[in-house]
């Protein structure tokens, strides 16, 4: 079938982002700097206040997925006894370590992820991070600290905030020892302030997609979220989102969107299928279907950060994240987003190896369909392991779904 | 000159072609293996159709739809099934399409609209491939399966979600000397029970389409027993999606290409 060739929509700020992300990874080469590893929704601000450069193993996992190297690396971890049905970020990252293969070498000249002086995880998103980070702490012979907040909360209670804030505080002496620096509350307030400003800008970036035609798609956002994940608490992240927001707002004023005409507006729930971002993006675009909002990209919107109460506010911010909420609370959040973004259909990606971030498993799609009158679709796949993904079947499902919405 | 419209359904096992005239009457149908290494066979068929009919629009469907370069539009087989069956039976219904590698359960409006749809998960259990694999392990002649099953009152099923494990399961039946006709019925029950695990509106009549029902007509009896509903198998159930595609090719010609019906 002949298809009309359209001028591709490009977000120009992507060039700046590429440079920032490159500098971030190249910065890890500096052996004089202390390195902390941290979960992506962990207390990065506290670590940065001690001068640590922060490496995020989930970011490395996503890179292994996006470069489609994960599927070759996962079996290495499986041979070590890690099931191929647990988090494929974990198995890909462990496999990468065992096989001594990483795209960081080709892209940034790094032998691998930087050697850690401290490893910190937060089980606010799943239990796998505990096993994952403990494994590397043993391998690297470095201290490890786990934050274990109350899980699957409906609303975050004051007791929960006190509990998590106390855990953050008990991390201080460990950070002081590993970094050789004394804790400075003003530095912590400053990183929280920078994080707050960056996350507010990131939220505004995502919220530009409320307009039709939207200037940013879910697939674009999965790329542009890099700095808010790995550079929270830095001026660079804040500056980047200031630039990106301006470009997108200008496009809104000019009426330029990533699609000229949006036949329907779709919400993506769950993890991206990292190795299939481009074909997925092209599939929706070819059908004039705009995927404009997602649970995933919203996960780095932290409304609660407040420099005046850095411990309590970050404890709240990191405990009230979507993935750590009850089914009831998740449903309320989704309903609001569906309304705010004028969504007609919702796709749930049921990731085989990510139980925590697959929200189709407790009846949510049918409840939202019945209560809001939107169409819902469940597709099966995975964040990294493409053995769990069937392109033909998924394409048929998505195209039929778009036909239903149009 | 009379205008004709072509639908081509490139499925995982077979490619089906239907040509209709201005009155939606089927004037030509053909079926060949999709993975035929002799690409010339399909090219010859397409070429013959072109010389015999004034084809003004082509719609491709099925898993291979994107690979057919001559189509004017491509539509999913789910939509084509809904259009094809609704043209013959304009009522609210459930369509169950059992193909070579998947099962599709479609809630279809009388106006052809797909109200809802579900597909089996990735494993082939419950599909045409499942029957071929299991029948081979049980040394049953595929073409005789329906006839054999009709002689049985067996009520057991193969439980495994995995086709390979189901093959191991049927070995237990063979070791237990379960008769051939019971094995045949057991295979069919397994397929229908797999369909029953997919969400569907129990109040609606069921229309069975696809290659599996074409070659295994006894499945209809098992579906009736299981769902206690009116079950209809349209004529040439394997060709329905290509018929739906031909109808959509015609709609495209009339609305988008502005070709006037004579």
Residues of B in contact with A400 (CB under 8 A): 76, 78-79, 114, 117
The answer to whether residue B63 neighbours chain A at the CB level (below 8 Å) is yes
Q: From CA A138, how far away is CA A127, in angstroms rounded?
A: 18
Instruction: List B128's β-bridge partners, or say none.
Output: none
Task: Tell me the ipTM for this assembly.
Answer: 0.87
pLDDT tens column, A124-135: 999 999 999 999
Does residue A244 lie in a domain region?
Answer: yes
Q: Name the residue among B63, B71, B74 with its Cβ closest to that of A392.
A: B63
CATH number of the domain where residue B260 is located? 3.30.420.40
CA distance A342 to chain B (A): 21
In a domain, A4, yes or no: no
Number of domains in chain A: 1
B 71-90 residues with CB < 8 A to A: 71-79
Would the pLDDT of B260 be above 70?
Answer: no
Kindly state whether B122 is in contact with chain A, defined as any CB-CB distance less than 8 angstroms. yes
Does A1 fall in a domain?
no
Query: Which residues of chain A are under the pLDDT cut of 70?
Result: 1-7
Predicted pLDDT of residue A7: 65
The answer to whether residue A397 neighbours chain B at the CB level (below 8 Å) is yes
Query: For residue A289, which residues of chain B lie inside 8 Å, CB to CB?
Result: none
Number of compact structural domains in chain B:
2
Q: Are residues B38 and B119 in the same domain?
A: no
Contact assignment for B122 to A1 by CB distance below 8 Å: no
Give yes or no for A403 touching B (CB within 8 A). yes
A265-303 burial: b if 16+ Cβ within 10 Å, else e: bbbbbbbbbbbbbeebbebbbebebbbbbbbbbbbbbbe
CB pair distance less than 8 Å for A397 and B75? no
Same-domain pairing of B28 and B107? no
Domain CATH for A297: 3.40.50.11900
Q: Is the domain of B96 the same as that of B198?
A: yes
B179 and B203 fall within a common domain: yes
Across the interface, do B114 and A380 touch by the CB < 8 Å criterion? no
CB nearest to B78's CB, from A1, A380, A400: A400
In a domain, A23, yes or no: yes
Please report the pLDDT score of residue B129 as a whole number.
87
What's the confidence (pLDDT) of residue A406? Answer: 84
Is the Cβ of A399 closer than 8 Å to some Cβ of chain B? yes
| pLDDT given at position A345 | 98
Alpha-carbon span B149 to A402, nearest angstrom: 40
Residue in chain B closest to A400 (alpha carbons) equals B76
Task: Determine, for residues A399 and B76 on separate chains, whether the beta-carbon distance falls below 8 Å.
Answer: yes
For residue A2, tell me if it sits in a domain.
no
Q: Specify whether B125 is located in the same domain as B197.
A: yes
Shortest alpha-carbon distance between residue A362 and chain B (Å) = 15
A212 assigned to some structural domain: yes
* Residue B188 domain boundaries: 90-233
Residue A258, in any domain of the structure: yes
Nearest residue of B to residue A389 by CA position?
B122
In sequence order, the β-bridge partners of residue A153 are: A325
| Residue A399 with chain B: CB contacts under 8 Å | 75-76
Check CB contact of B169 with chain A, cutoff 8 Å: no
* Residue B114 falls inside a structural domain: yes
Residue B257 pLDDT greater than 80, yes or no: no
pLDDT score recorded for residue B157: 86
Question: Contact B114/A399, CB-based, under 8 Å?
Answer: no
What residues of chain B lie within 8 A of the CB of A394, using their CB?
none
In B41-60, the residues whose Cβ lies within 8 Å of chain A are 60
Rounded-to-integer distance, Cα A393 and Cα A398, Å: 9
Q: In this predicted structure, what is the pLDDT of residue B12?
A: 83
Q: What is the predicted pLDDT for the residue at B101? A: 81
Does A390 contact B at CB distance below 8 Å? yes
Contacts of A104 (CB under 8 A, 6+ apart): A25, A60, A63, A110, A111, A112, A113
Which residues from A are below 8 Å from B78, CB to CB?
Answer: 396, 400, 403
Indicate whether B143 and B227 sit together in one domain. Answer: yes
Interfacial A residues in 341-370 facing B (CB < 8 Å): none
Same-domain pairing of B136 and B211: yes
Q: Are residues B252 and B145 in the same domain?
A: no
Contact between A393 and B117 using a beta-carbon 8 Å cutoff = no
Quick one: A185 exposed, middle or buried, by C-beta within 10 A (0-12, 13-18, 19+)? exposed
B9 touches chain A (CB under 8 A): no
Give the chain A residue nearest B73 (alpha carbons).
A1
A345 in a structural domain: yes
Q: Are residues B197 and B247 in the same domain?
A: no
Q: Does residue B218 belong to any structural domain of this protein?
A: yes
| Across B229-245, average pLDDT | 97
Pick A403's closest partner by Cβ from B63, B72, B79. Answer: B79
Q: What is the pLDDT of residue B90?
A: 97
Residue B85 covered by a domain: no
**Closest Cα in chain A to B122:** A390
Q: Which of A390, A392, A400 sits opposite B114 (nearest CB)?
A: A400
> Cα(B114)–Cα(A398) distance, rounded to whole angstroms?
13
Return the residue of B nearest to A396 by Cα: B76
Give the count of beta carbons closer than 10 Å to the beta carbon of residue B2.
11
**Interface residue A405 vs chain B (CB under 8 A):** no
B131 and B254 housed in the same domain = no
Across the interface, do A380 and B117 touch by the CB < 8 Å criterion? no
d(CA A210, CA B62): 35
Q: How close A134 comes to chain B (CA, Å)?
A: 34
My answer on whether B216 and B106 are in the same domain is: yes
- The predicted-structure confidence for B183-219, as pLDDT tens digits, reads as follows 999 999 999 998 998 889 999 999 999 999 999 999 9
pLDDT of residue A4: 54
Alpha-carbon distance B245 to nearest alpha carbon in chain A (angstroms): 14
Kindly determine whether residue A400 and residue B76, on different chains, have CB atoms separated by under 8 Å: yes
Sheet of A264-269, strands arranged across:
A289-294, A264-269, A345-351, A375-381
Segment B120-165, tens digit of pLDDT: 766 666 788 889 988 999 999 999 999 999 999 998 888 776 777 8
In terms of DSSP bridges, do strands B4-10 and A289-294 run parallel, antiparallel, or are they unpaired?
Answer: unpaired
Give just the sign of the alpha carbon dihedral A352, A355, A359, A365: positive
In tens, the pLDDT along A276-324 reads 999 999 999 999 999 999 999 999 999 999 999 999 999 999 999 999 9
- pLDDT at residue B160, rounded to an integer: 73
Residue B7 CA to residue B71 CA, distance in Å, equals 9
Contacts of B71 in chain A (CB under 8 A): 1
For the segment B18-42, the average pLDDT, to the nearest whole number, is 90
DSSP output for A315-335: HHHHHS-GGGB-HHHHHHHHH
Range of the domain at A357: 14-405
- Within B53-144, where are the H helices? 77-88, 128-137
Domain assignment present for B161: yes
Structure-token pair, residue A73: 């690396």
From chain A, the residues in CB contact with B68 under 8 A are 1
| B76/A404 Cβ within 8 A | no
Contact A400 B73 (CB under 8 A): no
Report the residue from B63, B66, B79 with minimal CB separation from A400: B79
B119 touches chain A (CB under 8 A): yes
Kindly state whether residues B95 and B202 are assigned to the same domain.
yes
């Amino acid at each position: 079938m002949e298809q009309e060739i359209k001028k591709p929509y490009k977000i120009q700020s992507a060039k700046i982002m590429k440079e920032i992300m490159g500098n971030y990874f190249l910065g890890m080469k500096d052996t004089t700097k202390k390195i902390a590893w941290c979960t992506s929704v962990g207390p990065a601000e506290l670590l940065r206040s001690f001068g640590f450069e922060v490496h995020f193993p989930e970011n490395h996992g996503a890179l292994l997925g996006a470069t489609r190297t994960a599927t070759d690396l996962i079996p290495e971890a499986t041979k070590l006894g890690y099931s191929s049905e647990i988090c494929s970020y974990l198995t890909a990252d462990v496999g990468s370590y065992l096989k001594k293969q990483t795209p960081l070498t080709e892209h940034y000249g790094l032998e691998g992820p930087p050697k850690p002086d401290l490893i910190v995880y937060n089980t606010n998103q799943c239990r796998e991070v505990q096993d994952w980070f403990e494994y590397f702490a043993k391998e690297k012979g470095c201290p490890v600290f786990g934050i274990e907040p109350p899980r699957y909360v409906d609303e975050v209670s004051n007791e929960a905030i006190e509990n998590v804030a106390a855990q953050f505080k008990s991390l201080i002496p460990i950070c002081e020892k590993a970094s050789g620096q004394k804790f400075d509350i003003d530095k912590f307030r400053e990183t929280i302030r920078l994080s707050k400003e960056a996350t507010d800008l990131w939220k505004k970036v995502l919220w530009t997609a409320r307009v039709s035609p939207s200037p940013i798609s879910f697939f674009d956002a999965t790329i542009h979220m890099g700095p808010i994940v790995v550079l929270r608490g830095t001026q660079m992240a804040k500056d980047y989102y200031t630039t990106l927001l301006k470009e997108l707002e200008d496009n809104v004023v000019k009426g330029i969107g990533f699609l000229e005409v949006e036949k329907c507006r779709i919400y993506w729930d769950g993890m991206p299928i990292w190795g299939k971002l481009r074909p997925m993006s092209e599939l929706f675009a070819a059908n004039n279907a705009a995927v404009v909002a997602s649970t995933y990209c919203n996960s780095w919107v932290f409304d609660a950060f407040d420099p005046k109460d850095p411990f309590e506010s970050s404890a709240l911010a990191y405990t009230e994240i979507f993935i750590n909420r009850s089914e009831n609370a998740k449903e309320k959040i989704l309903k609001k987003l569906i309304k705010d973004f004028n969504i007609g259909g919702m796709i749930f990606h049921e990731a085989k190896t990510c139980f925590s971030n697959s929200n189709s498993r407790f009846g949510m799609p049918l409840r939202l369909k019945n209560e809001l009158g939107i169409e819902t679709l469940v597709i099966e796949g995975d964040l990294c392991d493409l053995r769990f993904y069937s392109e033909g079947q998924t394409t048929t499902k998505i195209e039929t779904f778009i036909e239903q919405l149009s | 000159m009379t205008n004709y419209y072509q639908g081509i359904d490139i499925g995982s096992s077979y490619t089906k072609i239907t040509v209709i005239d201005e009155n939606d009457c089927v004037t030509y149908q053909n079926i060949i293996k999709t993975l035929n290494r002799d690409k010339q066979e399909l090219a010859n068929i397409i070429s013959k159709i072109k010389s015999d009919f004034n084809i003004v629009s082509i719609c491709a469907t099925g898993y291979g739809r994107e690979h057919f370069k001559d189509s004017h539009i491509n539509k999913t087989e789910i939509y084509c099934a809904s259009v094809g069956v609704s043209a013959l039976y304009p009522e609210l219904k459930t369509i169950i399409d059992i193909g070579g590698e998947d099962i599709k359960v479609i809630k279809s409006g009388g106006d052809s609209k797909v109200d809802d749809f579900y597909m089996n998960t990735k494993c082939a259990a419950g599909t045409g491939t499942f029957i071929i694999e299991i029948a081979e392990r049980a040394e049953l002649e595929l073409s005789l399966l329906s006839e054999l099953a009709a002689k049985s009152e067996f009520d057991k099923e193969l439980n495994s979600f995995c086709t390979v494990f189901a093959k191991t399961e049927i070995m237990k039946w063979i070791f237990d000397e379960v008769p051939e006709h019971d094995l045949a019925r057991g295979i069919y029950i397994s397929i229908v029970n797999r369909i029953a695990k997919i969400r569907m509106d129990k109040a609606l009549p069921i229309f069975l389409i696809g290659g599996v029902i074409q070659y295994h007509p006894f499945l209809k009896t098992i579906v009736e027993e299981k769902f206690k509903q009116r079950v209809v198998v349209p004529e040439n159930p394997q060709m329905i999606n290509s018929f739906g595609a031909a109808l959509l090719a015609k709609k495209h010609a009339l609305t988008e290409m502005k070709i006037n019906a004579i």
